[in-house]
Amino acid sequence: MTKERVIIIGSGIAGCTAALRLMQDYDVTIITKGHKEQSNSMLAQGGVAAAISKSDTPKKHFSDTFQAGCFHNKVRAVNQLVTCGPIVIQKLINEGMTFDEKDGELSLGLEGAHQLPRILHSGGDQTGKFLTTFLQEKLTKVNWQEQKMAIEIIKHDGRAIGVHCLDKENQLHTYYGEHIILASGGLGQLFPVTTNAATISGDGLALAYRADATLSDMEFIQFHPTLLFLNGRCHGLISEAVRGEGATLIRADGSAIMETVHPLADLAPRDVVAATLFEEIERGNQVFLDITKVAHFEKRFPAITTSLDEHQVPFRETKRIPVHPGAHFLMGGVRTDLNGKTNIPHLYAIGEVANTGVHGANRLASNSLLETLVFGEKVAEYIHTQKNNRIIAPENPPTYQTTMPHLPEKHILQEKIWETLGITRKPEKITEFLHWLETFDYANHTRETAEISHMIITSKLIAESALKRTESLGAHRILKGVTK
Ligand SMILES: Cc1cc2nc3c(=O)[nH]c(=O)nc-3n(C[C@H](O)[C@H](O)[C@H](O)COP(=O)(O)OP(=O)(O)OC[C@H]3O[C@@H](n4cnc5c(N)ncnc54)[C@H](O)[C@@H]3O)c2cc1C
């Protein structure tokens, strides 16, 4: 008997985890916009948070996750994350995944707002790369479709049945499946200053919205405080783990920035640190990470060292790294239950594209890789319980528009989004921005127009959510508002 088909959109850790757990029993296809290595997962530096040390408990991890999320998190989702976390990590270790060790024990790092060290890392600061590669090498039974950009989720009788995609030459390809899993990541590339991979521009969120899926908490976007900043441009992330190892944020005159701002100083929650740095920069101050106190910096952070050398940063002499905050992570997204199910039958969402409720109004550092692993497992477990899902695929041409659409240039849209929906937000500017967005068309006959159209839809969803939340909370900061 032929197997049922699962179509997964996205080749990050969420998509690869689900694929690994499904490929024996299903005909699994992974569609991905660029090469399979292009994802935020590949870029993750700090590691994966899990309560595995003897002095740690899921309860402590739960408490830290809730505090960071400003108590906006969903209790059951956080419970699932922190209790299944150690189990999925152990399963990966049993299957051959290696995390860094010290004196024969797993070496656990400390990051902002964690009450004790619980961050597993691999290859020093290359956890995402090592984990993604480990998973992808195991995907021997998967049909890979690289360089295919999903442009529409196909529905029939109210259920998801397939995906329309464009290849690099803008030729249409259609894939049908009994189960469609969105694992397309977040939206960092909506902003001109971001840590995110080039393919991560909110496509999946717009696709879900157009398929009538419910999205929520879209106003909660985490801005990472420390992107490498040179000559007015950002060049990737300087992990929070660097501050965990003793680096401090300073002004050009050497004065400490965070000491007087928060009891946790440099390891305060990310929204606090990012907003403080943003205010410093707005006042005309340059900000730096002072790495004087970081022991064995180059050994502990080999990938960051390579990046600093590539950009000719004289950090060995100055002990300083110039930094700037930028868009990093979306807490909200496509609303799902604990199994990754959306409100559209047979459409699932996992990883950063999903809003499971684990992150609340702000994500605790290193909880997102854990979320991709836990919910990647859960969606596969759930699909295994579903029987007789066969679809008879109707011919279903895409609803795309091929006339000359009126769309903004990408960089202009990004600048507007940063000004309006960046670290601090003004309601009147958001209203103005929404009016501006209304002047544009929707088009997806080329990858370029589809990407810009998706960015318009996604930024509209953020703007509408931001307008509805009239008080600052977590990562959503109304100008000069105070985090609750
Ligand atoms: C620089 C950086 C460092 C980070 N460090 C950490 C860390 O240390 N710990 C931690 O927990 N989290 C970290 N994060 C966050 C974490 O990496 C991500 O949240 C997580 O990897 C998301 O995984 P994912 O599988 O959901 O999505 P991704 O890994 O982003 O994968 C999404 C995939 O979908 C594809 N895609 C997108 N649109 C389409 C489309 N239209 N059609 C087809 N394919 C599409 C993309 O190309 C990509 O392959 C970091 C993020 C960044 C950017």
| Domains of the chain, CATH where assigned | 1-220+331-399 (3.50.50.60), 226-326 (3.90.700.10)
pLDDT score recorded for residue 169: 97
- pLDDT(483) > 60: no
CB 218 within 8 A of CB 202: no
Pocket test for ligand 1, best of 41, 45, 444 (most atoms within 8 A of CB): 41
- Going from the C-alpha of 1 to that of each of 27, 30, 63, 155, the distances in angstroms are 12, 22, 48, 25
Would you state the pLDDT for residue 480? 52
Pocket lining: 7 vs ligand 1, CB cutoff 6 Å: no
DSSP structure string for 102-153? ETTEE-EE--TT-SS--EE-STTT-HHHHHHHHHHHH-TTEEEETT-EEEEE
- Residues with Cβ within 8 Å of 310's Cβ and at least 6 positions away in sequence, in order, are none
* Ligand 1 pocket mutation, candidates 17, 40, 88, 89, criterion most atoms within 8 A of CB: 40
The confidence score (pLDDT) of residue 396 equals: 65
* Rounded Cα–Cα distance for residues 237 and 311 (Å): 13
Nearest to 245 by CA among 43, 131, 107: 107
Distance CA 187, CA 57 (A): 32
- Ligand 1 center from residue 12 Cα (angstroms): 6
Which tens digits make up the pLDDT trace of 296-349? Answer: 999 989 999 999 999 999 999 999 999 999 999 999 999 999 999 999 999 999
CB 326 within 8 A of CB 195: yes
Give pLDDT tens digits for 425-462: 999 999 999 999 999 999 989 999 999 999 999 999 99
15 lines ligand 1 (CB under 6 A): yes
Q: Provide the pLDDT for residue 482.
A: 42
Q: Tell me: pLDDT of 4 over 90.
A: yes
Strands annotated E in 254-316: 287-290
Report whether residue 47 contacts ligand 1, using a CB cutoff of 6 Å. Answer: yes
CB atoms within 10 A of CB 41: 31
Q: Which atom number of ligand 1 is nearest to the Cα of residue 11?
A: 49
Q: Assess whether the C-beta atom of 34 lies below 6 angstroms from ligand 1.
A: yes
pLDDT given at position 390: 85
Phi then psi for residue 236, to 5 deg, are 85, 180
Binding residues: 11-14, 33, 40-47, 203, 352, 368-369
Gap from CA of 185 to ligand 1 centroid (Å): 5
Where do the H-state alpha helices sit in 329-426? 367-385, 410-421
For 251-261, the pLDDT digits (tens) are: 999 999 999 99
CB of 195 within 6 A of ligand 1: the answer is yes
Which active-site residues does the annotation give?
270
The ligand 1 atom nearest the CA atom of 241:
8
**Both structure tokens of 372:** 């991709």
Q: What is the pLDDT of residue 402?
A: 62
Q: How far is the CA of 52 from the centre of ligand 1 (A)?
A: 24
- Nearest Cα to Cα of residue 364 among 158, 70, 52, 7: 70
Q: What is the pLDDT of residue 361?
A: 96
What separation in Å is there between the alpha carbon of 327 and the centre of ligand 1?
Answer: 13
pLDDT confidence of residue 388 = 80
Q: Is the CB of 46 under 6 A from ligand 1?
A: yes
The answer, yes or no, to whether any atom of ligand 1 lies below 6 A from the CB of 184, is: yes
Ligand 1 pocket test: pick from 122, 369, 453 the residue with the most ligand atoms within 8 Å of its Cβ: 369
pLDDT for 261-275, tens place per residue?
999 899 887 888 999
Give the closest residue (by CA) to ligand 1 atom 13: 44
Give the per-residue pLDDT at 193.
Answer: 93
Do the bridges between strand 5-9 and strand 27-31 make them parallel or antiparallel, or are there none, so unpaired?
parallel
* Res 404: pLDDT: 79
Residue 113: predicted pLDDT: 84
**What residues form the annotated binding site for FAD?**
11-14, 33, 40-47, 203, 352, 368-369
**Torsion over CA of 330, 334, 337 and 342, rounded to 10 degrees?**
-160
CB 450 within 8 A of CB 202: no
* Cα-to-centroid distance, 352 and ligand 1 (Å): 7
Give yes or no for residue 50 CB within 6 A of ligand 1.
no
CA angle 112, 116, 121 (to 5 degrees): 75
Q: 266 C-alpha to center of ligand 1: Å?
A: 25
What would the two tokens of residue 266 be? 């440099």
Contact yes or no for 208/455 (Cβ under 8 A): no
